[in-house]
Every structure is written in C-alpha cells, then in structure tokens.
Structure 1
Amino acid sequence: MDITITGASGRMGQMLVRQIAKSPGAKLAAAVEAPGGKALSRDAGEVAGLEALGVKITDDTASAIAAAQVVIDFTVPEATVAHAEIAAAKGVAMVIGTTGLAPDQAKRIEVAAQSVPIVWAANMSLGVNVLMALVERTAALLDPDYDIDVLEMHHRHKIDAPSGTALALGHAAAAGRQVQLEAVWRKTRDGHTGARPVGEIGFATLRGGDEVGFHTVMYAGIGERLELTHRAFSREIYANGALKAAQWVVTRKPGLYTMKDVLGLAG
C-alpha cells in the first residue's frame, strides 16, 4: 500500500513515517511539507530519525497525493481541507486525524468524501474509540441528574481547545442522552455562573508539559461519581490506528467514515 504523509516533519508526521517503515505491506510513496518548511528536500526517513528512505520531503502536494493509494493527514484545518479536495480530484483515499475544523471546513470534507472514501476521526486510538462507545452507553444508562463533565489535558503546543477527542466524547455522551451536544454544552466556566442546569455537559481543559493525551469523562451523581479514563503515553497508538484505517479505507466506496467503522464498533 503506497501512502503519502502530509505534515511529514511534524511530531505525528515523523511517527507515521517510522511506523510505515516497519510495517509489512506499507510503503512511503511521498512526504509533504508546507512551502517554506525547514525540512523541504530532506529525506523523510532521516527527518524521522531513521536511515534514508529515498523519499524527499516536497511541497508539491498535488503530485505527492497522486503518487499514493491513500494519504494520511494530521496537519491544520486549512491544509487538511485543501489536501482533501486534491485527494478527491485525484481519486485517492484519505485518513484524517486533524481536529479543530470549523463547520464550513467540515462541510468541504463531506463534499470530498462524495468522490473518495475518507476516514475522519478525532482520535485514532483503539482504546479511545472503545471509551467513546462506553461513554455513550453509560450516558444512556444514567438519568440526567448525573452531571457529565469531560476533562482533558494535552501538551503545551496543542492549538485547539477543547481537544477534538474531548468534543467527540461529549458528542458520545449527548448521543447516549439523545440530545444535541451544542444545545447542552458548557465549554468554560468563569465568574458567577449560577447553579448548574440539569443535563448540562461540561468541559475542562488543561495544557502543559509534554502530556500526549489524557481524557476523563465524569458522571457525578448525589453520593457517587463514576469516571471513565483514557491516557495515552505515546503517539505511536495514533499512528498505528491511522495505518489500520488506511488499510481499511482503500477498499471502501466513497463516503465519510469514522474509526467506529474501521474497528467494527458502529451500531
């Protein structure tokens, strides 16, 4: 399977290059960096701490995507949307792990998925996706008097908050209660906020150090509290999940899929 990695010199990009290099049946077809990037023209393997792989990092995105069967993208929203539109035009499947997309950007991803199969997930981890299924089921089992909060922490360099995974967990909890998250969420609390309304789903965000990813969903009732927690210790779990998604998506019809589909958790 020929794979193109966008954002190849970033933390996730380098991890993906390393995982592809040691995965039987996977081949790095091309590696992309934004124009002006310091890693341009360098060997993607060397940038990732490996021996040379014979693949130079390029800013010719269209040619790089066209060289692959699937492109894996962990970049920034503006770039991800552009890459998805190129992939759709070239007939190349895609795996997206970028978070923080605005509604209009998300719509453009949906349009691209009408032409090619795309797996788009806030988190590629097997454990996190099992957690999402548990969060939805637990929210359905407990009555609305249980207050739900999503606590998350990431490294100091993360640019969006709450994290895409935290929002996905919030959506899972809302689905369990059969409500729209946007109708009941509270993303921040500051000052005199008043008593908490029944049914609210809250978020708390922490940033610091080199935390890879920590998420806890709390169900606080009178006299008890239930907590469901996942902690990531290495980005390797995301890279492994992305490669699993890439292997799965290349055989699918055009459409927008999630890791639930990849892992057989849908429904």
Structure 2
Amino acid sequence: MNIGIFGANGRMGRRLVEVVLNDHESKLSGAYVRIGSSFIGIDAGDLAGSGQCGVRCEPFEKAQASNIDAMIDFTLPETLSTHLSWCVENKVALVIGTTGLTAEQHHQISEAGKSIPVLWAANFSIGVNVMLSLVRQAARVLESVADIEIIEAHHRHKLDAPSGTAMAIGEAIAGELNRDLTKCAIYGREGIEDPRQRETIGFSTIRGGDIVGEHTALFACEGERLEITHKASTRLTFASGAVNVAKWLKNQRAGSYTMHDYVKSRLG
C-alpha cells in the first residue's frame, strides 16, 4: 500500500510519516510540502524522528500519481481545493483530516466523491467515534431535562475554534434531537444575558500549552449531570486511524465516505 502525505512537515504530517514507516502493510511513497518551504530536500523520516527513510520532502507539484495508492491530507483549508483536484485528476483515493472547512468545501469533497473514494473526518480516533454514538443516546434520553454544553481543549497553535470534533459532537446531538445546529448553537457567553434556553447547545473553547485534544459533552440536569469525555494523549492515535482508513479506502468504489462507514465495515 503506497501512501503519500500532504503537509509532511506539519505536526500531524510528521506523525503520519512515523506511523506509515512503522506499518508493515504500508510504504511511504511521497512526502509533500508547499512551494518554497524550508523543508524541501529534508528526509521525511528524519523530520519525523524515525531516522532516514530515503523519501525526501518535495513540493506538491512533483507528486507522481503512479507511485501512490492513497493520499492523506491534514493541512489547511486553503489548500484543500488544489489537493482534491490533483487526486481527482489522477484517480487517487484521499483521506482528509483538515478541519475548519466551509460548507462549500464540504460540497467540493462530495463532488470529488463522484470520481474517487474520499473520506473526511473531524477525528480519526475510534474512541471519539464511539463517543459520538454515546452522546446521541444520552441526548435522546435526556432531551427534556438537560442543558447541553460541549467543552473542548487543544494546544495553543490550533487555529480553528470550536474544533472540528466539537462541531461533530454538536451535529450528532442536534441531529438526534431534530435541531438545526446553525440556529441553536451558542459560541461563548459574555456580560448580562437572558436566562439559558433549553434548546440551545453551548460551546466552550480552551487553547493552551501542548494539549493534544480533549472533548466533553455535558448534560446538566437538576440534581445531577452526565459528562461524556474523550482525551487524547498523543497525535499518533489520530495518525494511526487515518493510515488504517487509507488502507481501507483505496479498495472502495468512488464515493464520499465517513468514519461511520469505516467502523461499520470493521464490525463485519
């Protein structure tokens, strides 16, 4: 299984390189960075702290589709369109972990799915995807008695807020309750406000230090509260998940897939 990585110099890119190099079913066939990057020419294995692997970081424009079965993209929203176009043109499966995307960009992913297998996820942790099932169940049971809040924390360098995973949790809860998240979400509070409305879903964002990722769905009732929490201690969790998804995705027909599709396939 030949895997190429967009943004191999990034925090997640380096962890993806590390995972691929240590996975006996995968081969690192390309490590790509932006034009003019100071990382061009550096061995990707050295960059990931895994020792030289013989694959040097190259500008994306030098990607050779003949050597790649699937690409993995954890870069920035502004590069997504270019990466999608390249994968569609070259018939290469694409795994996307970039967050902070617009509705138009999600539409572009769906359109790409007409030509290639593509999977976008806010989080590639199996634990987080189990959490999404749990919060749906809790929301269904506690809808009439709980105020629902989502609290997330990440490292100081993370740009989008709330995180893609926090938004996925909110969408899961809102969908279960037949609510429109764009209308019921509250992103932070300040000053003197009207009393909280039951139908709203609140989001609180923390940014600091080197926090990898923590998410809590809080169901606050009178006299008790339920908290469903997931904490990640290493980015390798997400990188391993993305690589496993890439190995699965390359054998799928063209389509726009989700982590639910992947998890369901693993369960037989």
- Conserved? CA contact 2:32–2:63, under 8 Å: no
Where does 1:164-243 land on structure 2 (aligned, <5 Å)? Answer: 164-243=164-243
- Conserved? CA contact 2:6–2:60, under 8 Å: no
Distance between the aligned counterparts of 1:180 and 1:2, measured in 2? 41
Distance between the aligned counterparts of 1:68 and 1:144, measured in 2? 51
Deviation at 1:176, TM superposition (A): 1.7
Where does 1:3-82 land on structure 2 (aligned, <5 Å)? Answer: 3-61=3-61, 63-65=63-65, 67-82=67-82
Report whether the alignment pairs 1:93 with 2:93: yes
Deviation at 1:262, TM superposition (A): 0.8
- Conserved? CA contact 1:32–1:64, under 8 Å: no
Amino acid at match of 1:191: G
Query: Alpha-carbon deviations, 1:116-145, whole Å to 9, x = none?
Result: 011110000010010011111111111233
Distance 1:65 1:78, change over 3 A: farther
Query: Alpha-carbon deviations, 1:228-260, whole Å to 9, x = none?
Result: 000000001001100111111111111111111
Q: TM-score, normalised by structure 1?
A: 0.96
- Conserved? CA contact 1:133–1:265, under 8 Å: no
Where does 1:149-160 land on structure 2 (aligned, <5 Å)? Answer: 149-160=149-160
Matched residue of 2:136: which SS?
helix
Amino acid at match of 1:147: D
Deviation at 1:65, TM superposition (A): 4.8
Deviation at 1:265, TM superposition (A): 8.1
Q: Which runs of 5+ in 1 are unaligned?
A: none
- Conserved? CA contact 1:73–1:95, under 8 Å: yes
Residue of structure 2 equivalent to 1:131: 131
Q: TM-score, normalised by structure 2?
A: 0.96
Amino acid at match of 1:178: N
Matched residue of 1:264: which SS?
helix
Distance 1:34 1:195, change over 3 A: same
Matched residue of 2:133: which SS?
helix
Residue of structure 1 equivalent to 2:143: 143
State which drifts further: 128-137 or 54-63. Answer: 54-63
Structural RMSD (CA): 1.4
Distance between the aligned counterparts of 1:100 and 1:65, measured in 2? 27
Deviation at 1:180, TM superposition (A): 2.0
Distance between the aligned counterparts of 2:66 and 2:182, measured in 1? 38
Deviation at 1:16, TM superposition (A): 0.6
Distance between the aligned counterparts of 2:66 and 2:120, measured in 1? 20
Distance between the aligned counterparts of 2:249 and 2:87, measured in 1? 13
Distance 1:207 1:261, change over 3 A: same
Deviation at 1:164, TM superposition (A): 0.3
Distance between the aligned counterparts of 1:192 and 1:210, measured in 2? 33
Distance between the aligned counterparts of 2:65 and 2:12, measured in 1? 18
Amino acid at match of 1:138: A
The 4+ residue runs of structure 1 with deviation greater than 4 A are none
Matched residue of 2:63: which SS?
helix
Deviation at 1:67, TM superposition (A): 2.9
- Conserved? CA contact 1:151–1:215, under 8 Å: yes
Distance between the aligned counterparts of 2:180 and 2:256, measured in 1? 20
